[in-house]
Amino acid sequence: MAPAEDLKRRAAARALEFVTDGMRLGLGTGSTARHFVELLAERVREGLNVLCVPTSEQTLQQAVDLGVPIATLDEAGPLDLCIDGADEVGPGLALIKGGGGALLREKIVARAAREMVVIADASKKVAVLGRFPLPVEVVDFGVSSIERSLADAIREAGCAGPLALRRDGDGHAFVTDQGHLIIDAHLGRIADPVLLAQAVAQVPGVVEHGLFLGLASRAVLAGTDGIVVLDR
Ligand code: 5RP
């Protein structure tokens, strides 16, 4: 296994220790969450009883393939724990998420859970959020206009940088599981994530953004020198 994948898997394995029998779990999206689902599936085969709500079609498919019991969020109700990756982990466990385009369902599921544990390799920890482009999920009506309004709102919140409509490998607009588009805001530095989150959320056409503030309660970060568990 490549060293980077090994770190992700080690973070996932450590987070599995927080899972107990009978829990209702939110399953994140991305390469780190993928390791978690694989390891969880091994425990399920050994008899662990859990009910899981996937945060994307991709994770749903993986869970089905591996025999992990799944439910919709409406069927499962309040969740005990949500385990997900992140693109950046900042001070106070403020996160940027949505690199995989699943931020809307990820945020709904994280909010529905009593606890959210982030799993990542230690390189995701940053002193200031923003080097990773901030994903903003928008409706597909008037996207150019939404992009201009978004740029204004971002500027008023004290940030700056180019915005870009996310595209897939074929050059087509990337479409989320909920049928929306994503604008990535390349900001470099987000001095005040709360202010920016408020400003972005107020733009008509914005469905959700990738700033996860006050949602993660714990982060499991795996580095070459070991695993660090941070609590908010
Ligand atoms: C998907 C996400 C992922 O959690 C995030 O992109 C991290 O992915 P990875 O574990 O592959 O680095 O937010 O929308």
- Determine if the pTM surpasses 0.95: yes
What's the gap in Å between 175 CA and the centre of ligand 1?
A: 16
The CATH number of 4-125+213-224, from 3.30.1370.60, 3.40.720.10, 3.40.50.1360, 3.30.565.10, is 3.40.50.1360
Distance CA 88, CA 84 (A): 12
**Among the atoms of ligand 1, which is closest to the Cα of residue 124?**
12
Q: What residue spans define the domains of the chain?
A: 4-125+213-224, 134-205
Interface pTM, i.e. ipTM = 0.98
* Cα 229–Cα 107–Cα 126 angle in degrees, nearest 5: 40
Position 215 confidence tier, pLDDT thresholds 50, 70, 90: very high
Q: What is the pLDDT of residues 50-92, one digit of tens each?
A: 999 999 999 999 999 999 999 999 999 999 999 999 999 999 9
Catalytic residue among 106, 137, 147, 208: 106
Residues at the binding site for substrate are 29-32, 84-87, 97-100, 124
CB 208 within 8 A of CB 96: no
pLDDT, the chain, mean: 97
Q: What is the pLDDT of residues 164-188, one digit of tens each?
A: 999 999 999 999 999 999 999 999 9
106 is catalytic: yes
Please give the span between the terminal C-alpha atoms of the chain, in angstroms, as a whole number. Answer: 31
CATH number for the domain formed by residue range(s) 134-205: 3.30.70.260
Of 64, 67, 115, nearest to 93 by C-alpha is 115
CB 97 within 8 A of CB 42: no
- Ligand 1 neighbours, Cβ below 6 Å, are 28-33, 84-87, 97-103, 106
Distance CA 114, CA 192 (A): 26
**Among the atoms of ligand 1, which is closest to the Cα of residue 85?**
4
Distance CA 17, CA 167 (A): 37
- Confirm whether 4-125+213-224 and 134-205 share one CATH topology: no
pLDDT at 1 over 90: no
Instruction: Specify the 3-state DSSP secondary structure of 226.
Output: strand
